[in-house]
Amino acid sequence: MPQSLSAPPLVQDTALAASGRRVIEIEAQALTALAQRIDGSFSAACRTILACKGRVVATGMGKSGHIARKIAATLASTGTPAFYVHPGEAGHGDLGMITDADVVLAMSYSGESDEVLMLLPVLKRQGNPLISMTGRPNSTLAREADIHLDVSVPTEACPLDLAPTSSTTATLAMGDALAVALLEARGFTADDFARSHPAGSLGRRLLLHITDVMHGGDDVPRIFEKASLSEALVEMSRKRLGMTAVVDADGRLVGLFTDGDLRRTLDNPALDIRQASIGEVMTHQPKTIGADQLAVEAARMMETYKISGLIVVDGDQRPVGALNIHDLLRARVV
């Protein structure tokens, strides 16, 4: 029977906080030292990946494997096709996932992980460029790699100097450095990022256009400028957007009447609302937006001008759509 662990002694909050700060300080020092080693090897690694006709295959065992998986995900989402292969599984068939057009990015802090080293003869025979990340430049993996990136750290943040802490942080940071350098070299844009993140909030903000969220066709509220106030209210009630476009005889937008305009009209004692035409009480020169613009632009306009709806117009200033803040909320743009 395994011995049960005894309850840990009570530790002061100050001691716990001090321990946490020490870890952060040690890892920050490791990253500062790492930055000094971004040199020609790093540039060569970037150029090798940029020239790759296939994908980057990241691999590593244990904690290095977790880091390799994260680096592959970061590369893939920033314009460099990449995926992770478990080195143990690779030796049992998954090597078939790696083609001769791929670049292999192998991680092992010791540089001596058996599962990773086992793959090297096959990768060499297939002709895959090999980039390694290790903490030991004289290790087997470092020597066998075409390009070696040194991620060594003075000490682990673990007080026993055993649990991978500073070393995994340094390896992850080196992977991020590669991803960002490649992103910039490729001219990767926010729109490109959004296309690989369509389900995320950024993707929605960058991919949704006004045409995706607006009400169009017969759902667009509109009346002629000679219409009465009661006719405007009927149109607003029917279309349920809290506003109606006001157009001239040619169908061009000349104004907008909203719930706010209605309140102001009712508060005007000098106005006979039974006789007033909509042209007398509408908002002239209202804010509008084009159908080809991003939905996030509509949200920005609404916030800037403190309005809750917009009429969408074409190049001739004819209404082609309408949307309000609730449409943007439903689309999760705001």
CATH of the domain at 97: 3.40.50.10490
**What digits encode the pLDDT tens for the residues 207-228?**
678 898 899 999 999 999 888 8
Q: Is residue 203 part of a domain?
A: no
Q: Is residue 92 part of a domain?
A: yes
**What digits encode the pLDDT tens for the residues 291-314?**
888 888 888 899 999 999 999 999
Share above pLDDT 70 across residues of the chain, in percent, rounded to a whole number: 92
Q: Is residue 8 part of a domain?
A: no
Tell whether 153 and 37 lie within a shared domain: yes
Tell whether 88 and 135 lie within a shared domain: yes
Q: Is residue 86 part of a domain?
A: yes
**Is 200 a residue whose pLDDT tops 70?**
no
Tell whether 63 and 182 lie within a shared domain: yes
| Per-chain mean pLDDT for the chain | 88
Q: How many domains does the chain have?
A: 2
Tell whether 125 and 173 lie within a shared domain: yes
* Residue 254 and residue 227 in contact, taking contact as beta carbons nearer than 8 Å: no
CATH number at residue 220: 3.10.580.10
Tell whether 175 and 248 lie within a shared domain: no
Q: Is residue 107 part of a domain?
A: yes
Tell whether 39 and 105 lie within a shared domain: yes
* Position 106 confidence tier, pLDDT thresholds 50, 70, 90: very high
**pTM, 2 dp:** 0.65
Q: Which amino acid is at 93?
A: G
pLDDT at 191: 64
Q: Is the dihedral of CA 133, 136, 141, 147 positive or negative?
A: positive
Q: Is residue 55 part of a domain?
A: yes
Name the DSSP letter for residue 7. P
Q: Is the dihedral of CA 114, 117, 118, 119 positive or negative?
A: positive
* CB crowding 187-222: b at 16 or more within 10 Å, else e: ebeeebbbeeeeeeeebbbbbbbbeebbbeeeebbb
Tell whether 245 and 98 lie within a shared domain: no
Tell whether 183 and 286 lie within a shared domain: no
Q: Is residue 205 part of a domain?
A: no
Tell whether 30 and 154 lie within a shared domain: yes
Tell whether 181 and 222 lie within a shared domain: no
Q: Is the dihedral of CA 282, 287, 293, 295 positive or negative?
A: negative
DSSP element (H, E) containing 134? strand 130-134
Domain range spanning residue 169?
19-188
The CA distance from 192 to 206, in Å, is 9
Token reading at 264 = 């102001």
* Position 203 confidence tier, pLDDT thresholds 50, 70, 90: low
Name the DSSP letter for residue 163. S
What's the rounded mean pLDDT across residues 71-97? 88
Tell whether 292 and 184 lie within a shared domain: no
Tell whether 183 and 82 lie within a shared domain: yes
Highest mean predicted confidence (pLDDT) among 39-48, 76-85, 261-270? 39-48
